[in-house]
Structure 1
Amino acid sequence: MIMEEEFTESKETLNIADDGLPAEFEYKPSKELLQDYGGMDGTDQQQQNLLQQSAASQQLQQKLVDPNSCIILHPGSRNLRLGLPSHSVPFTVLHAIARRQKDASASKRLDPSIVPLAKMSSDRLREVEDCRLKVSHILQSSLTSDGTRRFATPPKQLSTHNRRVNPELDDELSEPCPALLQPTQDYVTGDEVLNISPHAPYHIHYPWQRGDLNSHGGIGGSLTAVMSDLELIWSSAIQDKLNIAHSDFKMYGCCVVIPDLYNREHVVHITELLLNSMGFAACFVFQDHVAATFGSGLGCACVVDVGDQKTSVSCVEDALSIASSRLRLSYGGSDVSQVLHWLLRKGGFPLSLEPSTNSTHATLVNHVKHTYCHVNLDKCGPEEQQVRVLQPGSHPVHYTVQLGDELLIAPLSLFYPALLQLTGDKTTVLTQPDNPGHHQDPFDENYLRDNSRRGGKETAETAGGGEVGEEDMVVEDQLTNNGSSGNNNSNNTGSFKSLMSLEQAIHKSIEGCGEEARRRMYSNILLVGSGANFAHLGRWLHSRLLLQIPMQFRPEQVEVMTRPKDLDPGMTAWKGAALMTGLEGSGELWISQSMWEKMGVRVLREKCPFIW
């Protein structure tokens, strides 16, 4: 008691504060600092700001769930699909722009509307011809559904008939087709680009190519120019098709469907474009293969997306695309169109076509492909078909031609890719490369992986050289394989060489999954994209897949879905994104302008519905 009283008295005498420091040395923060960090007078202001931000965030999330407050964009190599979640199907516009030349005497850049034919050596052309003969012989040796052997008409016989065909007027009273345009504005976007005269002083750009941004060393090929093209195309399409003024973009959120095999730098630029350049209130990035499973109502599937210029494959389970299963092939529906054009020439098609340089001819070849091509083995022998030709400034005419097995050989080139080398080398297979890192996101997976290894090593040394625990190994494996491809190399450059057919690509993709997931993936194959929209193609893929599946992973039933819910396969991913934005929990995935300004690239790792 005496000691306590003495200590209390001495404390009062020396004027010592309760924390043990003399009162004159007591730290008193300024009012401004308290307001910044929340203390005393600043507490109320900070809490008020947090409440206001939380209320604004909740209000924005509730608004974006509204099916009329969100715009869905699905960009592709040829088409842009867009609409509101309340729409049953999206609008489809040409994903291209024509910009007026500043110097009319300078050379023009005219991106073709269909992939051009490649210059081939005689040896390469002989390989393509041998592959055509191989497919033709396979078709001749196949059986129809009633067990009879198919027969085929030789191309020379078809050529003899077709070369004698003359054009016939569709209707003598019909008006001539509109002439090509000579526009005067600075730029033209959408479907009107195809109607511009090739002699008009305009550059024509397709900002998306082979499933990614079309950056190159030519005119308009810089990343800045490509993003500017995207802004004009997307803004014009939204205003024309959805009747939403540019000044009203700030009242909407925008969900953009990105490739499953994405380029991180490009995703950052697209997010910057949507939030800062176009001025949307918030944005949401969604992988196309995951969106396709949502649109088809599947929780687990191996998704095969055959687009206009690329074919991508990945395995999706529980709304996540498995990174080690992702791969992309450099061929698609446009390459199939060029194969069909080559076969039509061999069959003596009466009209000389140049689809690589003439957009009207490219449209005609695509029309023949979509209308007449199939993989129905019950159809054999020559069939008379009317091919309608719409030449600008001329009356519509049609040719009555005989078409044979070229209608089957063209779509079957997806299974015999040597035919597709008419448009160039197809041996490069892209995979998900390692994360190169970003200066705005220092604590990314590379940082976590390096520190987990260092921490595991220190723990082992501290424990006297003991083994690392199984749980630590699992965490490290997840970090290591997060951005790697199916080959699981530590330094994955994102590609390898192989001439892969469609079923081989599916098999390679599923090999990137764990053993437990492989059987589930083989039992659910989802075929989407407009590039493989051919009748009975799913049956052929099913029979080819059965030859690839190992016995230990063969499921009881292999199902290949080509038109889930009777929806156009080219619109499945867009429909899935529309469904995703309407879910109750999707409000947490939106990236607002304020989030982007404060966090930058880091917010993508926090908000994206996939492993960034």
Structure 2
Amino acid sequence: MEAFGNIVIGIGKEIPKDQTKTKLTSESDLKAKALRRPRRSEGEGKAKAISRSRRRLFDDGDYLKSIVPSQLIAERGSNLVVINPGSAHVRVGFAHQNVPYNVPHCIARLVKGEQKKAVHDQNLNTQATPAQQMEREKAYDMIASLLKIQLLNEEAPNNSFPRKMGRVDGYAPQQNRNNPHFSWADVMEKKSNLSTLRDSKTTEAYSLELSKPLNGEGPDSDEFKFKEFICGEEALRISPSEPYRLSRPIRRGHFNIFQEYSLQQVLADLCTIWDWILVDKLHIPPEDRNLYSAVLVVPETFDNREIKEMLSIVLRDLRFSTAVVHQEGLAAAFGNGLSTACVVNIGAQVTSIVCIEDGVALPSTIITMPYGGEDISRCLLWVQCHHHAWPSINTTPTTKPIDMVMLNKIKESFCQIREGEFDAVAIVHSYEEDKPVGSHKTRLSALNV
């Protein structure tokens, strides 16, 4: 007998009658079995209740006929999960949600007994030669002249147009909340074989113990251990001194495969990240995922082999009952109620353009460029260093992910797409090992590039 999803195909073999009889169980056996069954926690009880309601949609054929239309609309899409993988972030959520969860697409695994080496962007030139530096200077001067940006030693003719300054707290009042400082992630967890802390310890003492620096003088190794892996934003806030290796499965719109990061490792990290999001964010345990269907929304940069591998993860490893693949450009057009459109998608690492006509993506119109928002953030840092506007701190977004998070926040709060010149005063944070977070108020220049 072979099973394909929900369809079972039999070979036609007759089953003996004695195997079809149901074995009766005595009342004492049922009571003993009930006593051996472990108690469910409150979270597990809610998950089981949700599973029973989902199962009712499939088992009861008259259920959809008996409910009112408003209830049907409220439950529509509740058993459909949308997964949109990207280079820097992955967006996952239910189909009826207005805003999905936007999680950094990275994972940090604990390194045991080997030299730690972070996985960087292989397509990124981190060390430019003097000739490349001169080429960058010429390109910047040309762009500055086109955008009418004055150099620091130049003044406007007759001072007719004074330099524009932004607010101290940002260009808009609400942008002050978008520039906070970050703290290092907690990489320790309590060992599962231990019970609660000693009665002499209070909750406040326990919190203080977790916040100690992990340099050998932190929590007791008999009670705490390093987490095996950390996903999402916490993985970007791990101190460089901790024994973790940061990996990004997708870079520049493709699997990040090279000599030290094989295809099997990429697929394993993708499965771990997506499974963590389903459990931690959507609260869908693995045993209930056969009641859900998945929509895999893929960018136009992936090839057929990469799409096949991701679809295998969704069906085989994550255990969804059914899955369908959609192009990102088509999903954007249909989501806005359009059948014909030109979709321009500016992502963190890739910019793509595709034309949609009568609900069909035209392959000849697809254009992909390997740069995006993160490159603008690094360009922002380079421009500030060029204008001597950046504080004298060690900011290396290519080796310290937390610096890239800070630069992205500054870019989102202050950068403008406009002609002329725009300056602003911002708070820049420095993150150094074994030092508290430093705050530096500085004047940022040429924020419109």
Range class of TM-score, shorter chain: 0.5 to 0.7
Secondary structure of the 2:448 match is: helix
Contact residue 77 and residue 95 of structure 2 kept, 8 A? yes
Distance 2:365 2:266 in 1: 29
Q: 1:187 to 1:298 in 2, by over 3 A?
A: same
Q: Which residue of 2 aligns with 1:134?
A: 142
Cα distance, 1:356 vs structure 2:
1.3
Report the AA paired with residue 294 of structure 1: F
Distance 1:202 1:381 in 2: 40
Q: Percent identity?
A: 26
Q: Which residue of 2 aligns with 1:332?
A: 372
Deviations along 1:321-361, whole A, 9 cap, x unmatched? 11111121111111111111111112221133111111222
Cα distance, 1:91 vs structure 2:
0.8
Q: Which residue of 2 aligns with 1:369?
A: 411
Correspondence for 1:225 among 239, 242, 265: 265
Contact residue 258 and residue 287 of structure 1 kept, 8 A? yes
Contact residue 300 and residue 317 of structure 1 kept, 8 A? yes
Q: 1:117 to 1:364 in 2, by over 3 A?
A: farther
Distance 1:402 1:127 in 2: 26
Q: Residues 149-168 of structure 1: matches in 2 within 5 Å?
A: none
Secondary structure of the 2:147 match is: helix
Distance 1:289 1:96 in 2: 24
Cα distance, 1:401 vs structure 2:
1.8
Q: Which residue of 2 aligns with 1:296?
A: 336
Deviations along 1:157-194, whole A, 9 cap, x unmatched? xxxxxxxxxxxxx9xxxxx9644434413222112211
Q: Which residue of 2 aligns with 1:285?
A: 325
Secondary structure of the 2:352 match is: strand
Q: Residues 304-343 of structure 1: matches in 2 within 5 Å?
A: 304-343=344-383
Q: Which residue of 2 aligns with 1:200?
A: 242
Contact residue 178 and residue 392 of structure 1 kept, 8 A? no
Please tell me whether residue 181 in structure 1 is matched to residue 186 in structure 2.
yes
Q: Which residue of 1 aligns with 2:6?
A: none
Secondary structure of the 1:192 match is: helix
Please tell me whether residue 72 in structure 1 is matched to residue 82 in structure 2.
yes
Q: Which has the larger radius of gyration?
A: 1
Q: Residues 447-596 of structure 1: matches in 2 within 5 Å?
A: none
Q: Which residue of 2 aligns with 1:419?
A: none
Secondary structure of the 2:443 match is: strand
Q: What TM-score, normalized to structure 2?
A: 0.65
Distance 1:230 1:333 in 2: 22
Report the AA paired with residue 383 of structure 1: A
Q: Which residue of 2 aligns with 1:45?
A: none
Contact residue 74 and residue 82 of structure 1 kept, 8 A? yes
Secondary structure of the 2:353 match is: strand
Report the AA paired with residue 125 of structure 1: Q
Cα distance, 1:270 vs structure 2:
1.4
Contact residue 152 and residue 404 of structure 1 kept, 8 A? no
Secondary structure of the 1:279 match is: coil
Q: 1:188 to 1:314 in 2, by over 3 A?
A: same
Secondary structure of the 1:81 match is: strand
Q: Which residue of 2 aligns with 1:403?
A: 444
Q: 1:149 to 1:79 in 2, by over 3 A?
A: farther
Secondary structure of the 1:315 match is: strand
Q: 1:180 to 1:200 in 2, by over 3 A?
A: same
Contact residue 415 and residue 448 of structure 2 kept, 8 A? yes
Secondary structure of the 2:309 match is: helix
Deviations along 1:97-148, whole A, 9 cap, x unmatched? 112224x2x2323134898553323222211111111111122289xxxxx9
Q: 1:381 to 1:187 in 2, by over 3 A?
A: closer
Deviations along 1:255-287, whole A, 9 cap, x unmatched? 111122331111111121111121110011110
Q: What TM-score, normalized to structure 1?
A: 0.48
Q: 1:381 to 1:197 in 2, by over 3 A?
A: closer
Distance 2:97 2:122 in 1: 29
Name structure 2 gaps, 5 residues minimum. 1-9, 13-57, 65-71, 151-158, 165-175, 189-225
Of the structure 1 ranges 70-79 and 177-186, higher mean CA displacement relative to structure 2 is found in 177-186
Cα distance, 1:394 vs structure 2:
5.9
Bigger proportion of residues as helix: 1
Cα distance, 1:69 vs structure 2:
0.4
Q: Which residue of 2 aligns with 1:383?
A: 424
Q: 1:101 to 1:67 in 2, by over 3 A?
A: same
Distance 1:268 1:320 in 2: 21
Q: Residues 591-610 of structure 1: matches in 2 within 5 Å?
A: none
Q: 1:224 to 1:112 in 2, by over 3 A?
A: closer
Contact residue 344 and residue 353 of structure 2 kept, 8 A? yes
Q: 1:132 to 1:107 in 2, by over 3 A?
A: same
Cα distance, 1:389 vs structure 2:
5.4
Q: Which residue of 1 aligns with 2:100?
A: 90
Cα distance, 1:310 vs structure 2:
0.9
Q: 1:358 to 1:262 in 2, by over 3 A?
A: closer
Q: 1:282 to 1:209 in 2, by over 3 A?
A: same
Distance 1:201 1:235 in 2: 23
Correspondence for 2:276 among 233, 236, 259: 236
Please tell me whether residue 216 in structure 1 is matched to residue 258 in structure 2.
yes
Distance 1:393 1:287 in 2: 46
Q: 1:139 to 1:385 in 2, by over 3 A?
A: same
